[in-house]
Each structure stands twice: as structure tokens, then as C-alpha cells.
């Protein structure tokens, strides 16, 4: 499920949740509605490219991934996972959630 939020400073963010309601990805702030709409429209194309997922470990040994666009700009990041397998499953679930988004999102 996709949720778009207008922040108090007139920026927009989006989050993607699994069917069970777990947040899979939180976006960076976007400066206007047009920019966020364009980014969301391109998500289905992006998830087919393995290079858009950057896998990381934080200073506590937790795992997370970052979603980037094809130019390498960060679009959002995941929650923290206790294991590398959990993170990989999060990426798989994110890809599934994005593939289920309607082609034309009535925002």
C-alpha cells in the first residue's frame, strides 16, 4: 500500500507498506507534488534494476537497504532488520508491493 503525506513545510513524502501493514520504505522529502508523482510513476521500472538497491549495515549491526533512482539519487530507505535474510525478504516484499500498485495512481 502506498501512502503519501504532505509535510508541514510543504514537502511531500511517501511510504510503502506490505499487505500486513509493515512499513517497507520511507521516502526522502520531495519539494513538490509533481516530483513525487513522477518518482512514484517510475517505481515499477526501477525495481527491475538490481543496481537501485544499496544494502547497508548500521553501527549496531542492523541491516537496511536504500532505494536509489537510476542516476544514483536516494529515494528512500527501509526499516532496520535483525538479519541479512530479513533485509532481503524486505526487498522482495517491496518489489511485490510496488508491482501491485496501479499504473495510474489517482493522487
pTM greater than 0.85: yes
CA angle 80, 81, 84 (to 5 degrees): 130
Q: Report the pLDDT averaged over residues 66-74.
A: 94
Q: Is pLDDT above 80 for 106?
A: no
* Model pLDDT, residue 15: 96
- pLDDT bucket at 9, cuts 50 / 70 / 90: confident
* Model pLDDT, residue 107: 44
Counting Cβ atoms within 10 Å, is residue 76 exposed (0-12), middle (13-18) or buried (19+)?
Answer: buried
103 or 38, greater pLDDT: 38
Show the domains of the chain with their CATH numbers. Answer: 2-99 (2.30.29.80)
Per-residue pLDDT tens over the stretch 11-48: 999 999 988 888 999 999 999 889 999 999 999 999 88
The DSSP-derived string for 22-83 is -EEEEEPPBSSHHHHHHHHHTHHHHTT-GGGEEEEE-TTS-EEEEEE-TTS-EEEE---BSS
Q: What does the alpha-carbon distance between residue 87 and residue 40 come to, in Å, rounded to a whole number?
A: 22
Q: Report the pLDDT averaged over residues 62-80.
A: 95
* Model pLDDT, residue 105: 55
Amino acid at each position: 500500500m502506498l501512502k503519501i503525506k504532505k509535510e508541514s513545510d510543504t514537502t511531500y513524502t511517501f511510504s510503502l507498506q506490505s499487505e500486513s501493514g509493515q512499513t517497507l520504505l520511507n521516502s526522502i522529502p520531495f519539494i513538490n507534488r509533481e516530483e513525487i508523482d513522477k518518482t512514484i510513476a517510475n517505481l515499477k521500472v526501477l525495481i527491475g534494476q538490481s543496481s537501485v538497491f544499496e544494502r547497508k549495515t548500521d553501527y549496531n549491526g542492523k541491516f537496511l537497504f536504500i532505494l536509489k533512482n537510476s542516476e544514483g539519487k536516494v529515494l528512500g530507505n527501509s526499516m532496520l532488520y535483525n538479519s541479512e535474510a530479513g533485509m532481503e525478504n524486505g526487498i522482495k516484499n517491496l518489489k511485490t508491493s510496488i508491482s501491485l500498485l496501479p499504473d495510474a495512481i489517482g493522487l
